[in-house]
A and B are shown apart, each in its own frame.
Chain A
Amino acid sequence: MPEYAEIILGKTLGKIVGGAYLIFFLLANILSIREFSELLIVTFMPATPAVVFNVILVLIGAYAASKGVEVIARAAQFILPLFVFSLLSIFLSVLPVVEVGKLQPFLEGGIQPVIWGSVPSMIVYGEVIVLTILLPNVNRQEKVKRKAALAVLGVAFLLTFGMISTLMIFGPNLTGNLLFPFLYLSKFIEFGSYLQRVEGVILLLWMTGIVVKVALFYYLVCFAIAKILGLKDYKPVVYPMAFVYILAATFLFSTTEEIREFMELYWSPLGFMFELGLPLILLSAAIIRKKQGGYSR
Chain B
Amino acid sequence: MIKKYCIVELVLLLIVLSFFCTGCWNSKEVESLAIATVVGVDYLNENGSDIWTVSVIILNPVGQEKGGEQSSEKGGQGKLLLGKGKTLQEAVVDFSAHTSRTPYYGHISTFILGERVARKKMGDFTETIMRFWEDRPKTIVMVTKGTALEVLQTGPAVEKLFSKELKDLAMYKASGSGYSYGVIFSDFTAWLESPDRDAVATLINVVPPDVPDSSPQNLIEGLAVFQGSKLVGWLNKEETRGYLLLTQKISKGRMPITVTKDNKVFTYFLGISKSKIQPFVTGND
- Please report A residues at the B interface, Cβ cutoff 8 Å: 42-49, 52, 55-56, 59, 62-63, 66, 169-171, 173-174, 177, 184, 187-188, 190, 235, 239
Q: Which residues of B contact A55 (CB under 8 A)?
A: 16, 19
Residue on A with the closest CB to B186? A170
Q: Which residues of B contact A174 (CB under 8 A)?
A: 186, 189-190, 193
Q: Report if B280 contacts A (CB, 8 A).
A: no
| Among B26, B186, B193, contact of A45 (Cβ-Cβ < 8 Å) | B26
Residue on B with the closest CB to A52? B19
Given A63-B9, A66-B5, answer yes or no on A47-B189 (Cβ-Cβ < 8 Å).
Answer: no
Q: Which residues of B contact A45 (CB under 8 A)?
A: 24-26
Given A43-B133, A174-B193, A187-B137, answer yes or no on A239-B8 (Cβ-Cβ < 8 Å).
Answer: yes
Contact indicator per residue, chain B 173-214, by CB within 8 Å of chain A (1) or not (0): 000000000000010011001110000000000000000000
Q: Report if B145 contacts A (CB, 8 A).
A: no
Given A43-B133, A56-B19, A188-B137, answer yes or no on A49-B190 (Cβ-Cβ < 8 Å).
Answer: no
Q: Which residues of A contact B189 (CB under 8 A)?
A: 174
Given A177-B193, A235-B5, answer yes or no on A188-B186 (Cβ-Cβ < 8 Å).
Answer: yes
Q: Tell me, rounded to whole Å, the shortest Cβ–Cβ distance linking B13 to chain A.
A: 8
Q: Report if B230 contacts A (CB, 8 A).
A: no
Q: Tell me, rounded to whole Å, the shortest Cβ–Cβ distance linking B196 to chain A.
A: 9
Q: Tell me, rounded to whole Å, the shortest Cβ–Cβ distance linking B247 to chain A.
A: 11
Q: Which residues of B contact A56 (CB under 8 A)?
A: 16, 19
Q: Report if B136 contacts A (CB, 8 A).
A: yes
Q: Tell me, rounded to whole Å, the shortest Cβ–Cβ distance linking A93 to chain B.
A: 13
Q: A184–B190 contact, CB under 8 A?
A: no
| Among A63, A170, A190, contact of B190 (Cβ-Cβ < 8 Å) | A170
Contact indicator per residue, chain B 120-162, by CB within 8 Å of chain A (1) or not (0): 0000000000100100111000000000000000000000000
> Can you list 23 A-B contacts (CB < 8 A)?
A45-B24, A45-B25, A46-B26, A47-B26, A48-B26, A49-B25, A55-B16, A55-B19, A59-B16, A62-B12, A63-B12, A170-B137, A173-B190, A173-B193, A174-B189, A174-B190, A174-B193, A177-B130, A184-B137, A184-B186, A187-B136, A187-B137, A239-B8
Residue on B with the closest CB to A49? B25
Dominant secondary structure at the B interface: helix
Q: Which residues of B contact A43 (CB under 8 A)?
A: 133
Contact indicator per residue, chain B 55-94, by CB within 8 Å of chain A (1) or not (0): 0000000000000000000000000000000000000000
Q: Tell me, rounded to whole Å, the shortest Cβ–Cβ distance linking B193 to chain A.
A: 4
Name which of B9, B133, B137, B189 has the most chain A CB atoms within 10 A of its CB: B137
Q: Tell me, rounded to whole Å, the shortest Cβ–Cβ distance linking A65 to chain B.
A: 12
Q: B25–A47 contact, CB under 8 A?
A: yes
Bound-state CA distance A66–B133 (Å) is 36
Q: B26–A190 contact, CB under 8 A?
A: no
Q: A48-B24, A55-B19, A63-B12 are known; give 15 further A-B pairs, CB within 8 A.
A: A44-B26, A45-B24, A45-B25, A47-B26, A55-B16, A62-B12, A169-B186, A170-B137, A170-B186, A173-B193, A174-B189, A174-B193, A187-B136, A187-B138, A188-B186
Q: Which residues of B contact A49 (CB under 8 A)?
A: 25
Bound-state CA distance A200–B279 (Å) is 46
| Among B9, B25, B133, B136, contact of A42 (Cβ-Cβ < 8 Å) | B133
Contact indicator per residue, chain B 1-27, by CB within 8 Å of chain A (1) or not (0): 000010011001001100100001110
Bound-state CA distance A184–B136 (Å) is 8
Q: Which residues of B contact A44 (CB under 8 A)?
A: 26, 133
Bound-state CA distance A8–B138 (Å) is 57
Contact indicator per residue, chain B 23-46, by CB within 8 Å of chain A (1) or not (0): 011100000000000000000000
Q: Which residues of A contact B12 (CB under 8 A)?
A: 59, 62-63, 239
Bound-state CA distance A103–B202 (Å) is 25
Q: Which residues of A contact B15 (CB under 8 A)?
A: 59
Bound-state CA distance A169–B195 (Å) is 17
| Among B133, B138, B195, contact of A46 (Cβ-Cβ < 8 Å) | B133
Residue on A with the closest CB to B20? A56
Bound-state CA distance A235–B8 (Å) is 13
Please name the 5 residue pairs, one residue from A and one from B, whose CB atoms are nearest each other, closest first.
A173-B193, A174-B190, A48-B25, A171-B190, A47-B25
Residue on B with the closest CB to A235? B5
Given A48-B25, A56-B19, answer yes or no on A173-B8 (Cβ-Cβ < 8 Å).
Answer: no
Bound-state CA distance A49–B25 (Å) is 8
Bound-state CA distance A231–B130 (Å) is 51
Bound-state CA distance A44–B16 (Å) is 20
Q: B186–A190 contact, CB under 8 A?
A: no
Bound-state CA distance A42–B131 (Å) is 9
Bound-state CA distance A235–B16 (Å) is 20
Q: Which residues of B contact A62 (CB under 8 A)?
A: 12
Bound-state CA distance A178–B16 (Å) is 33
Bound-state CA distance A48–B9 (Å) is 25
